[in-house]
Amino acid sequence: MSRVALVIQYLGTHFHGWQRQPNLRTVQEEIEKTIAPVGGHSVTVCAAGRTDAGVHAAAQVAHFDYFGYIPGERWASILNARLPEDILIRGSAEVPLTWHARFSASWRRYRYTLYTDKEPNLFVKPFSWHYYYVPLDESLITAALKPLLGRHHLAAFRRANSSRSHSWVEVQAVECYRRGPLLQIEIQANGFLYGMVRLLVGTLVEVGRRRRSPASFTQLWIEERREEVKYSAPAKGLCLLRVGYPEFPFPRKIWFDTQPTFL
Amino acid sequence: MSRVALVIQYLGTHFHGWQRQPNLRTVQEEIEKTIAPVGGHSVTVCAAGRTDAGVHAAAQVAHFDYFGYIPGERWASILNARLPEDILIRGSAEVPLTWHARFSASWRRYRYTLYTDKEPNLFVKPFSWHYYYVPLDESLITAALKPLLGRHHLAAFRRANSSRSHSWVEVQAVECYRRGPLLQIEIQANGFLYGMVRLLVGTLVEVGRRRRSPASFTQLWIEERREEVKYSAPAKGLCLLRVGYPEFPFPRKIWFDTQPTFL
């Protein structure tokens, strides 16, 4: 048996998320059913982070176990020749059986994109939340983000059916910046609670539009006032940017390529 | 009778270009058949530049003549409610009957996008030419572009079935720059010959990869050696960025919004 790791890019628009579900088009199922006939047996593909319906991935990481002789690095091109247009394998490699896409990961980084021009724009529509009703002050959002750095209990930003046993999150990096009409928020953490980024962004937007001060935002999660976290930002603005591993099994090039600087 | 001007954005991917053609999906036909039932009569929509199949537009400009009472600025939202997902009207305004989307225009600006990372990328695929075989030197491309500035006879970069009566073009601005993995070339001119930008880019790439010197590129068009212009860059990398008018009939805001800085 060998273990194969994949770096996967996908447009979330036409998927019901990563995880396999009966009668729904999911990324996991598309990849599994593409591997099976080539590999000669059915497989389960395990991802670093299970993205929701509509969420995109610049570089999801996943692995599967395989009984056969196809070399690890060959899988990328084999699968790309067979996968639908909205999934792309950016790289593949054989990894030790002790390496696990989800449990070996030391961090995930997500980016949320808001599009702030009044006029809609076809080129960014599938990848952003069109938010133009009120101007957003990114310095206030940054001020609200900073106290999140470090290890905190973030149950306030957790949706009901989370599979995790606890709500401790170590936030490693936060950023908020403008690029032309785009306002982007990046958060890197050891792990994320179910719905966390979208609930965070939904509440940060209240800060940006001066409905809530950065200090009150911080009070909200310190005091775990979950009932005040009312808004979840739309899925299509969210993108899983990167997954970090102490030992990244892919060539460095793949790693750096995954940053979609243009979006 | 009144004349209505439109600023139009479209994704060229699923269109056989701007111009109406029997049994093919075109931007012109989609817009004309959306206007007719609302306006109460059939119309002909005349564009500033007729883009080829697969070419995108950030801000095409067009006009149509209308016999009725709907105010010019109302048309944008009326049409957006009825048009397919890949066309967006960014603004509309009533213009004098002497104003003509094509003949009143003093310049057009096109941008060509090359994507130079080896790994393909789903997010840019529909808007770029994936060119990674050989590294491209943008300073050589810039050196080749500069002599194009001014009024020149550019028959070397003209495809056969051009409708224009002559090949004189006044090139007003040229630019070549990198943005992360993207290499972009912008050209502004009073008008363009049929196929001109794609033939230019196809040949400039030869310069960028050091197969042809900037000086020989210039000789090529000065001596009108059309037979040496062999490569036309793929349509999907091309985008009509803006159209300039001495009197722009739209609010300034629309004008500035049309620059897709993120792509």
Residues A257, B117: C-beta atoms closer than 8 Å: yes
The CATH code for residues A2-104 is: 3.30.70.580
Per cent of chain B over pLDDT 70 is: 94
Q: Pick from A11, A119, A123: which is nearest to B254 by CB?
A: A119
Residues of chain B with Cβ-Cβ distance to A114 below 8 Å are none
Supply the pLDDT for residue B252.
60
Residues B123, A86: C-beta atoms closer than 8 Å: no
User: Could you give the CA distance from residue A28 to residue A18 in angstroms, rounded to a whole number?
Assistant: 5
Three-state DSSP at A28 gives helix
Instruction: Output the CA angle B67-B72-B76, nearest 5 degrees.
Output: 115
Please tell me which residue of chain B has the smallest CA distance to A184.
Answer: B262
Residues of chain B with Cβ-Cβ distance to A10 below 8 Å are 122
Residues B122, A11: C-beta atoms closer than 8 Å: yes
Supply the pLDDT for residue B258.
52
For the cut 60, the answer to whether the pLDDT of residue A257 exceeds it is no
Average pLDDT for A233-260: 77
User: Could you give the CA distance from residue B153 to residue B146 in angstroms, rounded to a whole number?
Assistant: 15
Domain with CATH 3.30.70.660 in chain A: 107-240
What's the longest Cα–Cα distance across chain A?
59
For residues B6-38, one letter each, b for 16 or more C-beta atoms within 10 angstroms of the residue's C-beta and e for the rest, the string is: bbbbbbbeebbbbebeeeeebbbbbbbebbeee
Are the CB atoms for B262 and A263 separated by under 8 Å? yes
For the cut 90, the answer to whether the pLDDT of residue A190 exceeds it is yes
Supply the pLDDT for residue B13.
95
Asked which of A23-27, A53-57, A188-192, A247-251 is least confident by mean pLDDT, the reply is A247-251
Q: Pick from A80, A117, A254: which is nearest to B257 by CB?
A: A117
Domain with CATH 3.30.70.580 in chain B: 2-104
Residues B123, A58: C-beta atoms closer than 8 Å: yes
User: Could you give the CA distance from residue B78 to residue B83 in angstroms, rounded to a whole number?
Assistant: 9
User: Could you give the CA distance from residue B196 to residue B194 in angstroms, rounded to a whole number?
Assistant: 5
Three-state DSSP at A143 gives helix
Q: Using the Cα atoms of residue A239, residue A244, residue A249 and residue A253 in order, give the sign of their dihedral.
A: positive
Residues of chain B with Cβ-Cβ distance to A123 below 8 Å are 9, 11, 56, 58, 127, 260, 262-263
Are the CB atoms for A109 and A173 separated by under 8 Å? yes
Supply the pLDDT for residue A261.
47
- What is the complex's ipTM, to 2 decimals? 0.74
Low-confidence ranges of chain B (pLDDT < 50): 256, 261-262
Residues A257, B91: C-beta atoms closer than 8 Å: no
Are the CB atoms for B200 and B157 separated by under 8 Å? yes
Bridge partners of A56, per DSSP, are A239
Bridge partners of B91, per DSSP, are B7
Bridge partners of B87, per DSSP, are B10
Strands of A107-181 (E only): list them.
Answer: 107-115, 129-130, 150-153, 168-179
Q: Identify which of B65, B166, B72, B61 has the alpha carbon closest to the alpha carbon of residue B105.
A: B61
Supply the pLDDT for residue A109.
94
User: Could you give the CA distance from residue A64 to residue A97 in angstroms, rounded to a whole number?
Assistant: 10
For the cut 80, the answer to whether the pLDDT of residue A160 exceeds it is no
Q: Is B52 an active-site residue?
A: yes
What is the least distance, in Å, from the CA of B52 to any CA of chain A? 18
What is the least distance, in Å, from the CA of B261 to any CA of chain A? 6
State the DSSP string of A162-230.
---S--EEEEEEEEEEEETTEEEEEEEES---TTHHHHHHHHHHHHHTTSS-HHHHHHHHHTT-GGG--
The CATH code for residues A107-240 is: 3.30.70.660
Supply the pLDDT for residue A181.
87
A59-70 residue pLDDT tens = 999 999 999 999
Residues B263, A260: C-beta atoms closer than 8 Å: no
Rounded to whole angstroms, what are the CA distances from B186 to A94, A134, B111, B144, B239? 43, 33, 4, 13, 10
Q: Pick from B10, B120, B262: which is nearest to A263 by CB?
A: B262
Please tell me which residue of chain B has the smallest CA distance to A76.
Answer: B119
Q: Which two tokens stand for residue A20?
A: 């396999």
- Tell me the pLDDT of chain A averaged across its residues: 91
| Residues belonging to chain B with any Cβ–Cβ distance to chain A shorter than 8 Å | 9-11, 56, 58, 80, 85-88, 90-91, 117-124, 127, 179-182, 253-254, 257, 259-263
